[in-house]
């Protein structure tokens, strides 16, 4: 496997991550993560463990009728069985409320990956918020 192949597989993993959230497919979403993943910046506390994180996301999605996560190409560095990437994201959230409305997030994902048995998984995932807008 070449570094270019690994970068493509990591890009595909990030796209699978976004698609799983938008499709509310928690089994596919869980498959993106290493069991011991560390999640930073998505709230006040660090979340440790894939199952805990997926349960948190499942409950967060209850506030929305739909989401769409648009990702930039990932700027990825591969070093053996580890990698890191910067991926910019614009996420639209359609609010589940009587008046409707949307919440838009502009952010950067800083993500570390680990490869086991030729499969890349997210080992650490950090959200760096650049801006937000809620309408109305």
For the chain, 136 residues long, the average pLDDT of each consecutive 10-residue run is 94 99 99 99 97 98 98 98 99 94 98 96 99 96
Domains of the chain: 3-135 (3.10.450.50)
Look at residue 52 in the predicted model and tell me its pLDDT: 99
Q: How far is CA 134 from CA 33, 43, 63, 67, 92, in A?
A: 29, 18, 14, 14, 10
Q: What is the DSSP letter of 45?
A: S
Q: How far apart are CA 36 and CA 53, in angstroms?
A: 10
Please name the residue ranges forming H helices in the chain: 3-22, 26-30, 50-61
Look at residue 1 in the predicted model and tell me its pLDDT: 80
Q: What is the pTM of this model?
A: 0.96
């Amino acid at each position: 496997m070449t570094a270019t192949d690994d970068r493509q597989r990591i890009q595909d993993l990030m796209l699978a991550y976004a698609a799983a959230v938008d499709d509310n497919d928690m089994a596919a979403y869980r498959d993106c993560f290493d069991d011991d993943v560390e999640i930073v910046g998505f709230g006040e506390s660090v979340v440790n463990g894939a199952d805990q994180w997926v349960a948190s996301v499942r409950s967060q999605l209850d506030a929305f009728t739909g989401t769409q996560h648009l990702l930039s190409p990932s700027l990825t560095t591969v070093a053996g069985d580890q990698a890191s990437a910067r991926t910019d994201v614009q996420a639209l959230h359609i609010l589940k409320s009587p008046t409707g409305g949307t919440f838009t997030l502009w952010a950067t994902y800083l993500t570390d990956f680990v490869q086991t048995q030729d499969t890349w998984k997210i080992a650490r995932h950090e959200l760096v918020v650049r801006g937000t807008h809620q309408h109305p």
